[in-house]
Chain A
Amino acid sequence: MRDLTGPEGDGLMKDTINAAAPVIEARNLNLTFDTADGAVHALKDVNLTIGKGEFVSFIGPSGCGKTTFLRCIAALETPTAGTLTVNGMTPDEARKSRAYGYVFQAAGLYPWRTIAGNIKLPLEIMGFDRAEQESRVERVLELVELKGFGKKFPWQLSGGMQQRASIARALAFDADLLLMDEPFGALDEIVRDRLNEELLKLWARTEKTIGFVTHSIPEAVYLSTKIVVMSPRPGRITDVIDSPLPKERPLDIRDSREFIEIAHRVREGLRAGHGDDM
Chain B
Amino acid sequence: MHDSQGRIVKWFGTATDIDIVKQADAELRTINQTLEKRVAERTAIADMRTKQRQKLTVELIEAEEKERRRIAQLLHDDLQQMPASAKLQLETATDHTSDDPALENVGKILKASIAKARRTAHELSPPVPRHAGLLDGLKWLVSLFKEQFDLRVHLELKRQHIENEPLKIFQSETGELPAVSVIHGRNRRSSCTPAVCGCCSSMTMP
Partners in one complex: no
